[in-house]
Amino acid sequence: MDEPVLLTGAGGRVGQAILRGIGDDYEWRLLDREPLPATKVPDRVTDADRYVADITDDRAVRGAMDGVNAVIHLAGDPRKTAPWDSVLRNNIDGTQTVMRAAADAGVEKFVFASSNHAVGGYETEERTPDLYRPGDEYRLDGTELPRPGNLYGVSKAAGESLGRFFHDEHGMSVVCVRIGNLTKDHPPREYERGQAMWLSHRDCAHLFDRCLQANYGYEIVYGISNNDRRYYSIERAREALGYDPADNSGDYTFEGEPKEEQNGGDGDGGPPADPNFPTDPDTPTDGA
């Protein structure tokens, strides 16, 4: 892919996982509402390709979109407790602004960061906590209707519907990734739900790379690693995108320590070193 990829919300945890994993593989346009420090920007990205803008600013978004072939849209209010006025402005209106600009610019591929919270309502008292444990056969595969667990999830379900509309009306390829619990060096510690939906940084980067490379129409996939304990299916991500995750929360203890190290292994199974950045400016959180 020779044309630039626009990455909105580039300074956030998902954006940084993507850039640290595949930052050298694409020409990037980075958009964030705050100026990005040098520690968050790959070496090859020039000042001209760094945009400071709100995603509800139509003119600014269209300026960043000019000449772009693909978009990864992460920007929005990420709080699961976000109030309605914020999710409406930032997550629904903002997503519509970005998708409309992409369609008008002739963008071929649009990758939308949805969330596990779009289907959080399926985690009923009858299903949990067995739902989070190995051996339980219940799976969500992306064909089920949204069932949000909070207003943030409502906004992500709305973004998936917007993606369906822009695919049907404009022929833009759209994939919605229902992202699980992203942490860098280990699964969430002592947290069954988080371990069931763990997404490692290298699997995150690989998944979004496949979103940029694969051919598809409209897809909803789950963004988790190849975990022994899981209630999201990754089969559609494998089939439609060629996703091949490397990590598994089952390779770690409940406390988040690598089992191979406890068993006398050499510990070489961890993620590769970051190629682009001098330091890691973010501390991963264990909340989903």
Q: How far apart are CA 195 and CA 202, in angstroms?
A: 16
Average pLDDT over every residue of 167-194 = 96
How much is the pLDDT for 164? 98
How much is the pLDDT for 279? 37
Domain presence at residue 285: no
pLDDT at 209 over 90: yes
We report the CATH number of the domain holding residue 102 as 3.40.50.720
How much is the pLDDT for 25? 96
Counting the structural domains of the chain, the total is 1
Domain presence at residue 278: no
Which token pair is 33?
């509402």
Q: Which of 51, 152, 231, 243 is catalytic?
A: 152
- 279 in Cβ contact with 210 (< 8 Å): no
Which of 246, 232, 238, 243 has its CA nearest to residue 200?
246
The model's pTM is 0.91
Domain presence at residue 153: yes
Residue type, 211: C
Q: How many CB atoms lie within 10 A of CB 73?
A: 24
pLDDT at 277 over 70: no
- 90 assigned to a ligand binding site: yes
- 230 in Cβ contact with 187 (< 8 Å): no
Q: How far apart are CA 86 and CA 91, in angstroms?
A: 8
What is the domain range of residue 37? 5-262
Domain presence at residue 283: no
* DSSP 8-state assignment for residue 78: -
How much is the pLDDT for 195? 97
Q: According to the 3-state scheme, what is the secondary structure of 32-62?
A: ECCCCCHHHCCCCCCHHHEEECCCCCHHHHH
Range from 66-70, 206-210, 260-264 carrying the lowest mean pLDDT:
260-264
Instruction: Write down the H helix ranges in the chain.
Output: 13-22, 58-65, 84-86, 94-104, 151-170, 192-196, 201-213, 235-241, 259-262
pLDDT at 280 over 60: no
pLDDT at 286 over 60: no
How much is the pLDDT for 271? 44
Query: Rounded to 5 degrees, what angle do the CA atoms 183, 184, 185 make?
Result: 115
Which of 181, 143, 132 has its CA nearest to residue 286?
181
Structure confidence by residue, pLDDT tens digits, 13-69:
999 999 999 999 999 999 999 999 999 999 999 999 999 999 999 999 999 999 999
How much is the pLDDT for 159? 98
Average pLDDT over every residue of 228-245 = 97
How much is the pLDDT for 260? 78
Band of pLDDT at residue 2, cut at 50, 70 and 90: confident
Band of pLDDT at residue 8, cut at 50, 70 and 90: very high
- 156 assigned to a ligand binding site: yes
How much is the pLDDT for 276? 39
Q: How far apart are CA 117 and CA 151, in angstroms?
A: 9
Residue 232 bears catalytic tag? no
Domain presence at residue 207: yes
End-to-end CA distance of the chain: 32
Q: How many CB atoms lie within 10 A of CB 161?
A: 13
- 86 assigned to a ligand binding site: no
- 115 assigned to a ligand binding site: yes
Domain presence at residue 276: no
Domain presence at residue 282: no
- 221 in Cβ contact with 175 (< 8 Å): yes
Q: How far apart are CA 238 and CA 113, in angstroms?
A: 17
- 191 in Cβ contact with 227 (< 8 Å): no
pLDDT at 132 over 90: yes
